Amino acid sequence: MNLPIQPPYPPMEARTVEHIPAGDEWQYEPKWDGFRCLVFRDGGDVYIQSKAEKPLGRYFPEVEAAVLALRATRFVLDGEIVIPIGGVLSFEELLHRIHPAASRVQKLSREHPAMVLVFDMLADDGKNLAELPLRERRARLESFAEKNLSREGDVRLSPATTDIATANEWLTSVRGGLDGVIAKRLDLPYQSGERTGMQKIKRLRTADCVVGGFRYGANSKQVGSMLLGLYDDEGLLHHVGFTSGIKAADRAALTNKLEKHIREPGFTGRAPGGPSRWSTERSEQWIPLAPDLVVEVQYDHFSEGRFRHGTRFLRWRPDKDSQQCTFEQVTRGGRPSLRLLSE
């Protein structure tokens, strides 16, 4: 490729903060739940790079085709690959794409096509824009979008605002269902691989879960993690993840508390230890509990029937009936919507 910016090129990254920064120097964007990517096009050549600087194109052939269909022929865009299903973004479908079989990828791309939401422009028609402040890059991107993109296309412009009230609405609105908000300094150039001029503010997601079991720590008789469960519509308790990070000073008392509730079967639906991407050598070594204990946890993402990462224990909920701990908490309004693109 004969572009002023060549792959592999480290994308600008964000530092996590608790609150949306205020001031005239900030631009705010929705934080989409997808795969970050850089899109390089030079004539008939397209290269899609992941955040980890790896090629993504073979997993998303329909995205390559959409980029080739644009009128412009020489550019570098920064954006997010997402898969909309019924107007709602599905991270699970993105995960299914990372598959070694080309035939499987082709089948999935036809069933649920992916698209790209673009929010920055690093090169346009042979000119390096990364050295320009975001204020000027955004103007160039919006001009590019007017000529090349559409609201119904497979490559779309992601919204941006300088109004902090709008950013707060994106962060807190159930209607939006977004992952959070990204804040970027308008006066800074694109800082490849750096986190200084970009911040991310995540939505605080919490859920009340049944403690359906626990695991002892490695080579220990004290608790190492609590296993979490949620009820489905048939009243079955499914294992959905774990919470650990228990303070050493609290382990003895917590172990004593949990051991008083030991009773089979623990989980009556999907139980720990089944084959999955999360399985380990200790997956089957767990102790079942009666569904008496309820905890409130904080989590980042919920997909494919479980918390994608470990959760953070917030507090016990003795006031909460275990039957109220249902999947509705983590599915209602919890997935990013594309409605913002049409507003």
Q: How far is CA 71 from CA 74, 118, 139, 146, 148, in A?
A: 10, 16, 18, 11, 6
CATH topology of domain 15-203: D-amino Acid Aminotransferase; Chain A, domain 1 (3.30.470)
Question: Is there a contact between 274 and 260 (Cβ–Cβ < 8 Å)?
Answer: no
Per-residue pLDDT of the chain in tens (343 residues, 90 and over written 9): 899 999 999 999 999 898 999 999 999 999 998 899 999 999 999 999 999 899 999 999 999 999 999 999 999 999 999 999 888 888 889 989 987 799 999 999 999 999 999 999 999 998 999 999 999 999 999 999 999 999 899 999 999 999 999 999 998 874 555 778 999 999 999 999 999 899 999 877 889 999 999 999 988 899 999 999 999 999 999 999 999 888 899 999 999 999 999 999 999 999 997 444 444 444 458 999 999 999 999 888 888 889 988 799 999 998 788 999 999 888 755 567 777 887 7
Which of 3.40.50.300, 2.40.160.40, 3.40.50.800, 2.40.50.140 is the CATH number of 205-331? Answer: 2.40.50.140
Phi, psi of 107, deg, nearest 5 = -60, -45
pLDDT computed for residue 159 by the predictor? 96
**Start-end ranges of CATH 3.30.470.30 in the chain?**
15-203
pLDDT computed for residue 303 by the predictor? 82
Residue 31 annotated to the active site:
yes
Measured CA to CA, the distance from residue 322 to residue 231 in angstroms comes to 9
pLDDT computed for residue 284 by the predictor? 55
**Start-end ranges of CATH 2.40.50.140 in the chain?**
205-331
Q: How far apart are the first and last CA of the chain?
A: 36
Catalytic residue among 31, 51, 127, 320: 31
Measured CA to CA, the distance from residue 236 to residue 276 in angstroms comes to 20
pLDDT computed for residue 302 by the predictor? 85
Q: How large is the greatest C-alpha to C-alpha distance in the chain, in angstroms?
A: 69
Q: How would DSSP label each residue in 100-139?
A: S-HHHHHHHHHHS--EEEEEEEEEETTEE-TTS-HHHHHH
